[in-house]
Structure 1
């Protein structure tokens, strides 16, 4: 008996909540649309921030490229003047700069991918938001018309169905936002894999990911030898 009584209480509470929700469908829908519009605005800001960060990364890459070119020219001059001590120090600096340049290149590629994804999500969100706003205006107009005409209670079910359809589209939008969060988690997992790759490379497992000081120095020595041969010819 107690179990049936508790079930009755839950059933009455559910019906009461449903009645309140149905009677306030339009205010609830308007607030949900405002929340959705805020989420779209935050998405726009996310795209803008990603684009700004990518622009900074491009400038950083250009600066590193210029520094490497300048140091290589001076290192070649040092080798021609038999200042291998200076050339070795410069080669070490060049190797570090080349590593930073490679990281910057990878960062730009990631930014490009993320910006493209965010733009796609934003376009879809803006389209869905406009659909929600049109549906809300239609539901509001229908509600006002029905009130003026003093229609029978049963005929108001069509407006409720329209509101329910609009709410369903909003829920689908919220599911899409959850999917976006899961995608971002997967991107973070990809970053962890790359960190493991770097650790393995630093331990000498597989092909090195960046030039060493000796690699840079050997390459520049070859340039000097080639230059000397050209002058002698």
Structure 2
């Protein structure tokens, strides 16, 4: 019985742990991606350092080869002059330099292998990181869509949409009524103004004109002309 209880406790603890991970999967994924990106950046720096060290080794190797060639030339000249002692010293130096050259060549080979492996690892890791980043963006978009669907599927959310649409319809109807009322008031004010009514009657020929007409002006000018004659 005690073992059963322990097993049940472990089972519930596992379920709780998994539920916690599921609830926090998005921030967990984001942090894991950031950690992976940092590791890849460190690997890139390691590749750059290895390349720089290999270039230094290449330069040292070239210098050693040049010194060997120079010593060989000088040793041959010493032998030709019969100076075997100097020639032997040159040969000993050449032997030491050749050992350094061989060691440098082995180091270059190791660097080349290491650099190739690091570059391959970085390329593969970068491709996987890009895939994870695309997956994260898709997961976030899916999460937002699911939240929106949850809101739309919620009765209160739909009720809010309905109420908002009704409020908008009432607002538009009220604004239309205000515009119609304003236009009607303007027409009524214009129609009730005495000056406007008098002007309309005068223009229609009812009663005396409100101002001189062209005929009146011509008659006055003819009268002035006849008086002057």
Normalised to the residue count of structure 1, the TM-score between the two structures is 0.63
Confirm or deny that 1:127 pairs with 2:120.
no
**Aligned CA-pair RMSD:** 1.6
What's 2:25 paired with?
Answer: 25
Instruction: Decide which moves more: 135-144 or 74-83.
Output: 74-83
Deviation at 1:21, TM superposition (A): 0.6
Aligned residue runs from structure 1 range 73-222, under 5 A: 73-150=73-150
The corresponding residue for 2:193 is none
CA distance in 2, matches of 1:60, 1:99: 13
Partner secondary structure for residue 49 of structure 2: helix
The higher radius of gyration belongs to 2
Q: Matches of 2:25 and 2:118 in 1, distance apart?
A: 31
The gaps in structure 2 that reach 5 residues or longer are: 154-229
Supply the distance in 2 between the matched residues of 1:114 and 1:15 (Cα, whole angstroms).
44
User: Relative contact order, CA 8 A, sep 6+: which one is greater?
Assistant: 1
Shift of 1:151: 6.7
Q: Secondary structure at the match of 1:82?
A: coil
Residue 43 (structure 2) aligns with: 43
Give the C-alpha shift of residue 51 in structure 1: 0.6
Q: Structure 1 residues 112, 90: closer, same or farther in 2, change over 3 A?
A: same
- Report the Cα distance in structure 2 between the residues aligned to 1:37 and 1:99, rounded to whole angstroms: 42
> For the residues of structure 2 that align with 1:7 and 1:83, how far apart are their CA atoms?
91
> Tell me, what secondary structure is at the counterpart of 1:18?
helix
User: Shift of residue 93 of structure 1?
Assistant: 0.7
Q: How does 1:61-80 map to 2 (within 5 A)?
A: 61-80=61-80
Q: Structure 1: how far apart are the matches of 2:106 and 2:152?
A: 65
Following TM superposition, by how much is the alpha carbon of 1:38 offset from its aligned partner in structure 2, in angstroms?
1.0
Determine the C-alpha separation between the residues in 2 that align with 1:140 and 1:43: 28
**Which 4+ residue blocks in structure 1 deviate beyond 6 angstroms?**
none
Question: Normalization by structure 2: what TM-score?
Answer: 0.64
SS at 2:82 equivalent: coil
Q: Distance in 2 between matches of 1:7 and 1:46?
A: 47
Matched pairs, number: 153
Name the CA distance, whole Å, in 1 between partners of 2:28 and 2:35.
11
The residue aligned with 1:207 is none
CA distance in 2, matches of 1:139, 1:128: 16
Which position in structure 2 is the counterpart of 1:15? 15
